[in-house]
Structure 1
C-alpha cells in the first residue's frame, strides 16, 4: 500500500545469493525492513518459480507445534487422511519449483530451522527466503544483514536540498510525510530538522514511518524535540500491522524478549557506551555482578546474532555498535536496575586509563595504533569527560583535567582542536590549584590556542604555566612552555628569539629524555634556520629528528620532519626531492586525519608546483586548502611566518593564469573532497615540466633568501627597511647580509649591488641569445 524506497543494492545482492544458495536468511534489527525487502525480491523473481511464491507470516504464531500446519494452510493443501503435516508438505513440494518466504522466524527459530532443512532435503527445486533477527544456522544457509537506510554522510560536505531529499532515509520520511501533509517537502528552512530526525532514528524505516505520521499534529521542531523520549512519542502506528510494529517500544520489546537474561543484562550495561565499543571495553566495563568476564565474549556474540549489537570491521579489529534507539532502550533498563551511576563510573575510569596509556605511547612504533584507537573511541572519550565534568568533586575535576591533557595528541588530529581546547578550558576553571595538572593543562591549551591563531590567550597561559613550573621545579613542563613560546616568537617574526627558545627547549627535552619534545624542537629549528637561509643547520636539525624517529620506529613526528626538510629542499630549488619528501609526510598525515599536517603538506606542494610552472595545480591545491584551513580555524596555524611564501605563490599563479582561469581552478579545488585532494596531491606529478623553459642560470652560491636580500640591497634599502619588507627581525636581516658578504668575498654593500647588476645582465644576455 506504500512505496518501496531504496535498497537497490540489497535487492541485487539477495537475487545473486538466491541464485547460489537454496536458503537465504535476511537478518537485522526489528523494523529495519526485512519483510518488505523479501517481498520486493519475491516480486522481481516470481517468474522464475512457475509453482508459485508463497509467504508464511509467522510473527503471530504462538505455538511452534503449529508451524507445519501454518505452512499447509499457506500452500492451501487439502486435509489428508494420513501422514503428518510435514509429510504432506514434503510430498507436495517434492517436484515443485517454488519460492517460500518464512517471515519472522526468530521466536520459533529451532522449529523453523528443522522444518526448512527437511523441506530443502525433500524438494530439490525449492528455494527459501527467511527473515529473522538471527540466522537459522543450517547447512547451505547464506545470510545477509539488512542495515538501516543510508543517511547523509556525517561530517561530510552539506548536500543541496534536492540531493538531501534523494538520500534513502530522508526520501522515506518525505514520502510518508506527504501521505499526511500533501504539501510537505524538504526546503532550506526545514532541511536541518528533517536530517536530524532521520539521523536520530538511525535510518530505521519503521521508526521513520512512525515519526512521519506524527506530523498530523506536530511541527517538525516539536517532533525533533519529542525524540528525546522516542518510545512515548512513537506510540501509535497502523492498526493493520502486527502489534509489535504498531509502536517503537513494542518493536524493541520483541527483541528484548528473545534474549536470555544475561544477554539482557549485557545489553543494558553496553548502553553506557557512546558510538561503539570493542570486546576489551565490554569485558572491563560490563563484567561483574552477574556476568563473568570470561562469558562476555559469548554474550556479545549472542547479541550480534540477535541483531541487537551491530558488528563493524575496522583495520586490525572488530567493534560493536548499538543503534541509538536500541541504546536508549537499554539505558532505560539500566536506569530501572539502579546500576546506571556505577556503570557510568566504570565507563569513565576505563577511558581515563585508556587516555593515559595512549599518552604513554605518544612516541614510537605503537603510536599510530593508539591514535587510531582514540579516534574510533572519540564519542566514548567525550562521554567520559562529560561525566567527570558533571561530578563537582575535586578529585573528579583533577581526573577530568588530567584526562583532557593526556588526550593532547588526539585533539591535534582530526578536527578536534576546538573541542580539545574547550575541555581543557573547562577543566582549568574547576582546578585552580597551582600544581602539575594545571601547569601541564595550561601549556596544552596554549598549543591548541596557537593552532587556532589565538596568540593573546596562548601567551597568558604560557606565562602562568611557566610560573607554576618554576615554583615547583617541573623541568618537563618548562621545556614545553619554552617550545610553545618559541612558536609565538616565530609568529611575531622574531626568528632569532624563536631559534634560541627552540634550542633551550631542545636542551630541556634532552635532559628529560623526552623524545617527542626533542623531535618537535628539532623540526621547528629546521624550519626556522631554513627561513633564515641557513641551509646547513636546517638540514642538520631535520636529519637529527629523522634519526631519533627511525630509532624508535616513530611515524607521525617523522612525517613532520619530512615536511620541514621538504620546505628546505624547495627553498634550495630541488623540486623533485622536495615533492617526494613532503608526499611522504602527507601519506601519514592523511590516514590520521591530521588536518594541520595535511594542510602544511598541501601548502608546500602548491609552492613546489608554482616553482615548476604548474600554476593550475597550485591553485587547485589552494582551493582544497581553503576548506582545511577553515576547519582548523586559521591558515598555516602556528607557522604564520610561512604566509609570505603562500602570498608570493598566489601572486605568481594569479599573474600566470589570469583572473578567470585562476577562479576556475580554485573552484575545482574547493569542490574536491579531502580524499580526492589527497589523491590528487600524492598521485599527480608535483613537478611537471613548465610550459616554457626558462634559460638556465649559472649556479649561485647564495640561498633563495640570500638572493632575495641581495636584490633589496641593490635597490638601496637599509637593514631596517629590508627587515620591514620581509617581516623579519632587523638583526636577522643583518645576519643574512653578513653571510652574503662572506660567501661572495666582499667587504661592502656596494660590491653586492654591483654583483647583482652583473648577474641580471648575464641572465638577460642568455635569455635573448647574446650571452655566452
Structure 2
C-alpha cells in the first residue's frame, strides 16, 4: 500500500487504484498512524486524539470497530495490534511525505542547478493540496502539518534560487510574487523576489519590495529586516556587478553510459578513433569492425566521450542489439529519432519517409551519433548512414559492427584484439614484469583481481597467464569470462582446461573465423560449468531486447525448476561470472553471449513459451503504467516506459508476428496515452495499424484500438465499449481531435457526451479533461464566464488528482481567460506553472508552446526584452528536439520583436531563417503584410525548399 498525506488523505493499492477510506473517524485513525510513521500508538492515545474530552460510551469497543473498518478498507494485515498499541504496515517509501523529504535532501546534495530544479519539481509535484487536509484542525496533526508546510516552502525557495542560477529571472518573478503575498514576512523569500526583479531589469520594483517588507516588519513585529536582506538592498542600490552572475554553461548533451570498469590497453586506439571522427578534420562516417567480444563498443564509447565539447548538439549512443534482423531503414531511423528525443510527431500527419525526415531534422546540427551493434542490420544501417552523409553536413556517425558498411565516404577502423605477451625464450627473473607489459595480460590480471582480491602476476604464475592470454587470442570478453574461473581454479589448471577445450570440436562455431570460434569456445566452456538453474535463467534472459529489471527477470525466467525467490541469487552468480552485466537496475547480456543463449533457448524447446512470457509481462507492465499516468506518479511511470521502450516494441513485434491479436491490442491500448504525452504519434499510429491487422479474437480490445487510432488520425469513431469510464475518455479524446481539425460541431457534441458520462461514473479525471476542452470551446465562442468556470473546476480536479499534465492543460485554458481580463501577472504566473509542469515531465512540444504563450503575454504587455528571452528559450528547446514548426514560429516571433524594437537587421535575419526552415518543411510564414518592408526581401533571398510528403502546409495555431 502507498499513502498520501500531502493533500487530502489517500491510499492506493499495489495496482495503483485508490482505496476508499470510510467515515471521518476511520480516516483520522489512519492519519494519526501516518503522522507517527506507522506507529505503534496506544489505544488510549488514539481515543484521546479522536474524541478528546467527549469520548463515546464504550471507547475501546468503538475504537476497535473503527480499526476493523480500516482493516476492511486496507487489508487485514495492514493494521496490526502490538503490545505497545496499533501499528500500520508502512514501507519506507510508501508515504508521499517521506518521498518528498527524500527528494528535497537529494536536491540539497545536487550541484547542477538544472538537475536540482528537476528533482525539486518532482518533489513538489507530490503535493495535491494542504498537508493532512482532512485532519487539519486535529491537535495530533498540527506539528507535522507545520513541519511539512515549512519543508514545502523551503523547497519552493530552493527551486526558485536554482532557477535564478539558470538565468530564468522573468519566469520566476510571478511564482515568487505569489509566494511573497502568502508569506509577506519571510525574509529569504523576499530576498529571492528582490533578486529576481533586479536581474530582470526591474530595480525599482525590487527596492519597493524591500520597503514593503520593512514597513510590515515595523508595524507588526517592531523589528527591522535582517542584515542579509539589508545587505542585498544596499547591493541593489549600488548596482553591484556581483548580483548579475553569469548563467552556468549548459552541460554537454549525451546519453553515453559511465563505464563500470576502466578501459585497458586501448589508449592508442581511442586516440586514433577520436582523430578520425574529429569535427574539424576527421571523416563523417567511421566504422569500427571486428569479431564479437573484441571490445568495439567500449572503444567507441570511450572515444566518443572525448568529443563531447566538439559536438554541441550532443553525442548519442543508439543501440541496435534489440532491433529485429528484418528491420527496415525506417526502423533504424525511428530508433535514432527516439534516442535523440526529436519531435517527429509534432506534425498532424505521419512523415512518409522517416529517413528523409531524420536527415532534414538534423541537417544543420553538429551531432555525433554512435550506432552500436549493427551486424544484423547492416543493410538498413548502410542506407541511413549514406543518407546522413549526403544531407547532414556537420553530423558525424560512428558505427560498430562485425563487417564494414561498404558505402562511399566510410572510414573503416578494424579493432584488433589486445596485445599478446611474448614468452621469454630463456628463463628470466623479470618474467612477471616482461609479460605484464602486454595489454591482454593487464586486462586479465585486473579482472582476476576483481574476482579474487589480492590476485597478482608473479614469477610463478606468469607463464600460465601468458599462455591463457595467447590461447584466447587477446579477446577481451573471452579473457573476462575466464578470469572469473580463478575463484575455483589456479592459472595452471585453467591452462590445462584450455588445452582440453580447444582439442574438442567447437560445434556450431565451426566454420567461423578463428577468433570467433575462440570466443564461442569460451562462452561454451562457461556454459558447461553452470548449474541447471543458472543455464535456465541465462538462456531465458536472452529474449529481452534491452535487458531486464529484476521484476522482469523473475517473471520471464522463473518456473517450477527455478522459483521466483531464487532468480536474484542466480543472477548474482551470473554477474560474478561476467556472463550477465549489471547496468543500474537492469541485467543485460553482451551481444555474443545473447546470441549463444538464443541458440540454447531454441534447442531447449522453451523459445515459444519464454517469448510469450516476455510479451505478457510487458503487456501487464504497460497496463499498470497506464493506470498511473493520470495522477501523482505520472512522472515516475513516464520514465519507466521511457526505459522500457525497446522491450515494449520487441513485445509488440513478437505479438504481431506470432498472431497474438489480444496481446498486441492490449499492449497498444495501454501505451496510447504514453505515446500521446510523449508526442510519438508516428509510432502510435503505426503500432495501432500493425496490431489491428492481426486476425483473431480480442475481447473488446479491437474496438478500443480503433477508437484510439481514429482520434490520432482526426477521424470520427463509433465508440461502443463496455468499460464506461474508458468510453467517456475516448469520447473526450476523439472529440478534442475532431475540434482541432476543424470539425467543431462534432467535436463539441462528443465533449458534452464525455462530460455527462464522466460525471455519472464519478470519473474525476475524465470530467477534468472534458471541462478543460469545453473551456476552450466556450472561449472560442466568446463565452468567457463559462470558459473560466469550466477551467477553474478542471484545474481543481486535476490538482486533487495530482496530475501534472492536467495541471498544464487546465492552466493553459485559465491563462487564455486571464488574457481577456488584461491581468498580466495572472497570465504569466499561470503559464509559468504550466511551463514547469511541461519541463518536469519532459513534454517538450508543450514546453515550447507554453514559452510562446508566455512570450506573447510579455509582447502584448510591451515588455519586448522579456518576450525576446522567452522566444529565444523556445527556439533553443525546439532546435534541440528538431521541433521544426516550433523553430519556425520562434524565429517568426523573434523577427516581430526585433522589428518592434527598431532592429530591422535582426528582424530580417530571423525572418529569413524562418522562411528557409518553413519552406523546407512546408510551413507557411507571414510575408510582406506581416513584416512590412522586410517580408518580401526575406522570401526573395531564401532558397526554394521542398515540401516533405505527409507534412502539413500550415502548422497548428
- TM-score scaled to structure 1, two decimals? 0.52
Aligned in 2, Cα 1:265/1:195: closer, same or farther, shift over 3 Å? farther
Q: Confirm or deny that 1:662 pairs with 2:914.
A: no
Superposition map of 1:532-571 within 5 A: 532-571=781-820
How many Å apart are 1:651 and its aligned residue? 7.6
Q: Confirm or deny that 1:653 pairs with 2:897.
A: yes
Aligned in 2, Cα 1:579/1:275: closer, same or farther, shift over 3 Å? farther
- Counterpart selection for 2:708 from 441, 444, 451: 444
Structure (1 or 2) with the greater helix fraction? 1
How many Å apart are 1:407 and its aligned residue? 1.2
Task: Supply the distance in 1 between the matched residues of 2:371 and 2:770 (Cα, whole angstroms).
Answer: 50
Task: Supply the distance in 1 between the matched residues of 2:806 and 2:651 (Cα, whole angstroms).
Answer: 28
Aligned in 2, Cα 1:607/1:149: closer, same or farther, shift over 3 Å? same
Q: Which runs of 5+ in 1 are unaligned?
A: 1-25, 42-132, 134-144, 174-184, 202-210, 227-232, 450-454, 637-642, 671-726, 729-772
Q: Which runs of 5+ in 2 are unaligned?
A: 1-257, 272-294, 305-314, 319-338, 343-358, 376-385, 422-468, 476-513, 916-955
Superposition map of 1:287-436 within 5 A: 287-288=558-559, 290-313=561-584, 318-392=585-659, 396-430=660-694, 436=700
How many Å apart are 1:494 and its aligned residue? 6.7
Query: Is the 8 Å Cα contact of residues 363 and 515 (structure 1) preserved in structure 2?
Result: no
Aligned in 2, Cα 1:489/1:344: closer, same or farther, shift over 3 Å? closer
Query: Is the 8 Å Cα contact of residues 852 and 871 (structure 2) preserved in structure 1?
Result: no
How many Å apart are 1:478 and its aligned residue? 4.8
Task: Supply the distance in 2 between the matched residues of 1:344 and 1:160 (Cα, whole angstroms).
Answer: 39
Query: Cα deviations across residues 406-437 of structure 1 (Å, max 9, x unaligned)?
Result: 11111113342211111111222335879732
Task: Supply the distance in 2 between the matched residues of 1:433 and 1:289 (Cα, whole angstroms).
Answer: 30
Task: Supply the distance in 2 between the matched residues of 1:186 and 1:486 (Cα, whole angstroms).
Answer: 40
SS in 2 for 1:149: helix
Superposition map of 1:34-183 within 5 A: 34-36=264-266, 148-149=301-302, 152-153=315-316, 154=318, 155-156=339-340
- Which residue number in structure 2 is paired with residue 616 of structure 1? 868
Query: Is the 8 Å Cα contact of residues 599 and 629 (structure 1) preserved in structure 2?
Result: no
Superposition map of 1:568-647 within 5 A: 568-611=817-860, 612-614=863-865, 615-621=867-873, 623-624=875-876, 626-627=878-879, 631=883
Aligned in 2, Cα 1:296/1:624: closer, same or farther, shift over 3 Å? same
Query: Is the 8 Å Cα contact of residues 619 and 666 (structure 1) preserved in structure 2?
Result: no
Task: Supply the distance in 1 between the matched residues of 2:363 and 2:879 (Cα, whole angstroms).
Answer: 17
How many Å apart are 1:524 and its aligned residue? 1.0
- Which residue number in structure 2 is paired with residue 87 of structure 1? none
How many Å apart are 1:235 and its aligned residue? 11
Superposition map of 1:253-264 within 5 A: 253-254=521-522, 257-258=525-526, 260-261=530-531, 262-264=533-535
Aligned in 2, Cα 1:447/1:388: closer, same or farther, shift over 3 Å? same
- Which residue number in structure 1 is paired with residue 399 of structure 2? 198
Query: Cα deviations across residues 327-354 of structure 1 (Å, max 9, x unaligned)?
Result: 3333233233332222111100111111
- Which residue number in structure 1 is paired with residue 34 of structure 2? none
Query: Cα deviations across residues 51-104 of structure 1 (Å, max 9, x unaligned)?
Result: xxxxxxxxxxxxxxxxxxxxxxxxxxxxxxxxxxxxxxxxxxxxxxxxxxxxxx
Aligned in 2, Cα 1:669/1:290: closer, same or farther, shift over 3 Å? farther
- Which residue number in structure 1 is paired with residue 4 of structure 2? none
Query: Is the 8 Å Cα contact of residues 662 and 699 (structure 2) preserved in structure 1?
Result: no
Query: Is the 8 Å Cα contact of residues 312 and 319 (structure 1) preserved in structure 2?
Result: yes
SS in 2 for 1:513: coil
SS in 1 for 2:832: helix
How many residue pairs are counted as aligned between the two chains? 480
Query: Is the 8 Å Cα contact of residues 368 and 396 (structure 2) preserved in structure 1?
Result: no
Query: Is the 8 Å Cα contact of residues 661 and 698 (structure 2) preserved in structure 1?
Result: no
Aligned in 2, Cα 1:309/1:334: closer, same or farther, shift over 3 Å? same
- Which residue number in structure 1 is paired with residue 553 of structure 2? 282
How many Å apart are 1:506 and its aligned residue? 0.8
Q: Supply the RMSD in Å over aligned alpha carbons.
A: 5.1
Query: Cα deviations across residues 663-685 of structure 1 (Å, max 9, x unaligned)?
Result: 65689999xxxxxxxxxxxxxxx
How many Å apart are 1:40 and its aligned residue? 11
Q: Which moved more, 1:245-254 or 1:280-289?
A: 245-254
Task: Supply the distance in 2 between the matched residues of 1:368 and 1:166 (Cα, whole angstroms).
Answer: 27
Task: Supply the distance in 1 between the matched residues of 2:726 and 2:387 (Cα, whole angstroms).
Answer: 53
Task: Supply the distance in 1 between the matched residues of 2:596 and 2:906 (Cα, whole angstroms).
Answer: 56
Query: Cα deviations across residues 566-594 of structure 1 (Å, max 9, x unaligned)?
Result: 33333433333222322322323334333
- Which residue number in structure 2 is paired with residue 188 of structure 1? 389
SS in 1 for 2:864: coil
Query: Is the 8 Å Cα contact of residues 421 and 445 (structure 1) preserved in structure 2?
Result: yes
Aligned in 2, Cα 1:186/1:367: closer, same or farther, shift over 3 Å? closer
How many Å apart are 1:448 and its aligned residue? 2.3
Query: Is the 8 Å Cα contact of residues 522 and 541 (structure 1) preserved in structure 2?
Result: yes
Query: Is the 8 Å Cα contact of residues 362 and 516 (structure 1) preserved in structure 2?
Result: no
Query: Is the 8 Å Cα contact of residues 538 and 568 (structure 1) preserved in structure 2?
Result: yes
Query: Is the 8 Å Cα contact of residues 555 and 588 (structure 1) preserved in structure 2?
Result: yes
Query: Is the 8 Å Cα contact of residues 868 and 894 (structure 2) preserved in structure 1?
Result: no
Query: Is the 8 Å Cα contact of residues 620 and 667 (structure 1) preserved in structure 2?
Result: no
Query: Is the 8 Å Cα contact of residues 479 and 505 (structure 1) preserved in structure 2?
Result: yes
- Which residue number in structure 2 is paired with residue 219 of structure 1? 406
- Which residue number in structure 1 is paired with residue 124 of structure 2? none
Aligned in 2, Cα 1:39/1:381: closer, same or farther, shift over 3 Å? closer
- Which residue number in structure 1 is paired with residue 925 of structure 2? none
Task: Supply the distance in 2 between the matched residues of 1:430 and 1:667 (Cα, whole angstroms).
Answer: 48
SS in 2 for 1:533: coil
- Counterpart selection for 2:758 from 509, 528, 532: 509
Task: Supply the distance in 2 between the matched residues of 1:438 and 1:356 (Cα, whole angstroms).
Answer: 16
Task: Supply the distance in 1 between the matched residues of 2:761 and 2:388 (Cα, whole angstroms).
Answer: 59
Greater relative contact order: 1 or 2 (C-alpha under 8 angstroms, separation 6 or more)? Answer: 2
Task: Supply the distance in 1 between the matched residues of 2:398 and 2:899 (Cα, whole angstroms).
Answer: 49
Query: Is the 8 Å Cα contact of residues 895 and 910 (structure 2) preserved in structure 1?
Result: no
SS in 1 for 2:702: helix
Task: Supply the distance in 2 between the matched residues of 1:328 and 1:554 (Cα, whole angstroms).
Answer: 43
- TM-score scaled to structure 2, two decimals? 0.43
How many Å apart are 1:500 and its aligned residue? 4.8
Aligned in 2, Cα 1:190/1:494: closer, same or farther, shift over 3 Å? closer
How many Å apart are 1:653 and its aligned residue? 3.1
Aligned in 2, Cα 1:187/1:345: closer, same or farther, shift over 3 Å? closer
Aligned in 2, Cα 1:551/1:189: closer, same or farther, shift over 3 Å? closer
Task: Supply the distance in 2 between the matched residues of 1:40 and 1:537 (Cα, whole angstroms).
Answer: 65
Aligned in 2, Cα 1:423/1:589: closer, same or farther, shift over 3 Å? same
How many Å apart are 1:441 and its aligned residue? 1.0
Aligned in 2, Cα 1:646/1:501: closer, same or farther, shift over 3 Å? farther
Query: Is the 8 Å Cα contact of residues 414 and 592 (structure 1) preserved in structure 2?
Result: no
- Which residue number in structure 1 is paired with residue 515 of structure 2? 247
Q: Give the number of the structure whose alpha-carbon radius of gyration is greater.
A: 1
Aligned in 2, Cα 1:593/1:238: closer, same or farther, shift over 3 Å? same
How many Å apart are 1:147 and its aligned residue? 9.7
How many Å apart are 1:238 and its aligned residue? 8.6
Aligned in 2, Cα 1:186/1:264: closer, same or farther, shift over 3 Å? farther
SS in 1 for 2:389: coil
Query: Is the 8 Å Cα contact of residues 388 and 397 (structure 1) preserved in structure 2?
Result: yes
Task: Supply the distance in 1 between the matched residues of 2:803 and 2:750 (Cα, whole angstroms).
Answer: 24
